[in-house]
Amino acid sequence: MNQDEFGYRIRQALDEGLDRLDYRTTYRLEQARQVALARQPAAQAERGWAPALQTAGGPPVEREPAGWARRLGLAAPLLALVIGFVGINQYQESEESRRISELANMDFAVLLDDVPLETYADKGFGALLQGESDEL
């Protein structure tokens, strides 16, 4: 009998021994398998490798499953960001134009007033105006 044939006979005997394992052993092996499967990284268990968002100091954040939900998850924050920028810009523009028109009105009032411009540079006139406004 050559080596391969001998090995094959031994293999048959060992396989037979596997079928005779007692219940306790097979049960514990099954438990061990379940424990091992539970320790499989979640991303790989579901769909193999998938990119994850890394947070500062925190664990990687798994993305949503592929499909419309994932696309929506990415698009919604971007849309909110754009809307935010537009809103801020419009608010700033309206605030600025209000201040410009206020200043312009003031300039017009000063220029159209009968009081000469030099008067406004006089400290006494400023104090007089202040006193009048306090009285009002």
Partner 1 sequence: MATRDELSEFLASVERRAFKQAQFAVRDSDAALDIVQDAMIKLSENYSDRPAAEFPLLFTRILQNVIHDHFRRQKVRSTWVTLFSALTPAGDDDTDPLETLEALAGSDGAESAGDKVERAQVVAIIEEEVGRLPARQREAFLMRYWEDMDVAETAAAMGCSEGSVKTHCSRATHALAKALRARGITL
- Count of positions on this chain that bind partner 1 (CB under 8 A): 35
- The C-alpha atoms of residue 98 and residue 96 are separated, in whole angstroms, by 5
Q: Is 57 left (phi over 0), alpha (psi -120 to 50) or beta?
A: left
Nearer to partner 1, 46 or 107 (CB): 46
Residue count of the chain, please give it. Answer: 136
Residue 1 near partner 1 by CB under 8 A: yes
Non-local CB neighbours of 66 within 8 Å, separated by 6+ positions? 47
Residue 85 backbone class (left: φ over 0; alpha: ψ -120 to 50; beta: rest): alpha
Q: Should residue 114 be labelled a site residue for partner 1 when binding is judged by CB under 8 A?
A: no
Site for partner 1 in 9-68 (CB under 8 A): 9-11, 13-14, 16-18, 20-22, 25-26, 28-30, 32-33, 35-37, 39-41, 44-46, 48-49
Q: Report the interface residues with partner 1, using CB under 8 A.
A: 1, 3-4, 6-11, 13-14, 16-18, 20-22, 25-26, 28-30, 32-33, 35-37, 39-41, 44-46, 48-49
